[in-house]
Amino acid sequence: MSFVLNKSKAWLLTNGHKKLSPRQQKKFSNLINRRGNNVPIAYLTGHKEFYGLDFIINKNVLIPRPETELLIEETIKIVRQLATRNKPIAIGDIGTGSGCIAVTLAKYLPAVKIMASDISKGALQTAQKNARQHQVLKKIRFMAGDMLRPFISKKIKCDIIAANLPYLTYDELKNVKYEPKTALSGGKMGIESIERLLMQSTEVLNENGIILLEISPTQTKMIDFIVEQQLPNKKVMFIKDLSGRDRVVKIK
């Protein structure tokens, strides 16, 4: 109702006597019916709040989750620790989707250099819209391509790689109806995209660079093993979300 009338929820509470026009009633009823079919609210309204910012959301992108805000917090923390350096800190956001990670970091960390990639043309267009809306379009370099391939082909190096890659297993993906499955499918074990990124990261990550990834709490042992094989000189740390589950892996 708030969306249909373009009014705040507080306004609705104090104006309950107001009547809807036939057009508003029709729109409201249509949204209620679609919500009854479990269409996510973000797809109904075309918007989702993330880290205090409003993002345009559509069928091309994953709906930003509160869990991903932990990835933002950790990235900001690391950037502030490195702030004494003379050159800008370069951050790569891989599989940017709606651009919620890249745009949020550009908004809250004005001095950093941010690059964002995605294989989906529709996702990149959405991310650029969000960057434009938050006035950070000129601060982010958007690139089309799979994982770190655009970085490798252009010989771009990063101090930090931050990503929320697909990490659902095939079985978990069966329950997904509306969100783009390419943004969620991590293969049979849910770890394929993360493994590919870690393998490619050696060509992109600067010396002493850091990787931050959102993960499933069930994947910690597999990630430990992959890092040991692909990045033997790196250490792994798992950061818990508000539910006490391992949600972000820090590879340093």
Q: Check if the beta carbon of residue 248 is closer than 8 Å to that of residue 74.
A: yes
- pLDDT of res. 176: 78
CATH class of the region 57-251: alpha beta
Residues 6+ apart with CB under 8 A from 30: none
Q: Check if the beta carbon of residue 215 is closer than 8 Å to that of residue 247.
A: yes
- pLDDT of res. 190: 82
Residues 6+ apart with CB under 8 A from 86: none
Q: How many CA atoms lie within 13 A of 249 on its CB side?
A: 27
Residues 6+ apart with CB under 8 A from 70: 214, 239, 241, 247, 248
- pLDDT of res. 171: 79
Q: Check if the beta carbon of residue 203 is closer than 8 Å to that of residue 159.
A: no
Sign of the four-CA dihedral 11, 53, 191, 60: positive
- pLDDT of res. 187: 80
Q: Where are the alpha helices (DSSP H) in the chain?
A: 2-5, 9-14, 22-36, 41-45, 68-81, 100-108, 121-133, 149-153, 170-173, 192-200, 220-230
Average pLDDT per block of 10 residues along the chain, 252 residues long = 93 92 96 94 96 96 94 96 82 97 96 95 97 97 96 96 88 79 77 94 95 95 94 96 95 96
Does this model's pTM top 0.85? My answer is: yes
- pLDDT of res. 119: 94
- pLDDT of res. 116: 98
Query: What residue ranges do the domains of the chain occupy?
Result: 2-37, 57-251
- pLDDT of res. 167: 80
Residues 6+ apart with CB under 8 A from 135: none
- pLDDT of res. 157: 96
- Phi then psi for residue 59, to 5 deg, are -65, -15
Which residues does residue 20 pair with via DSSP β-bridges, in sequence order? none
Instruction: Report how far residue 191's alpha carbon sits from residue 184's, in angstroms, rounded to the nearest whole number.
Output: 11
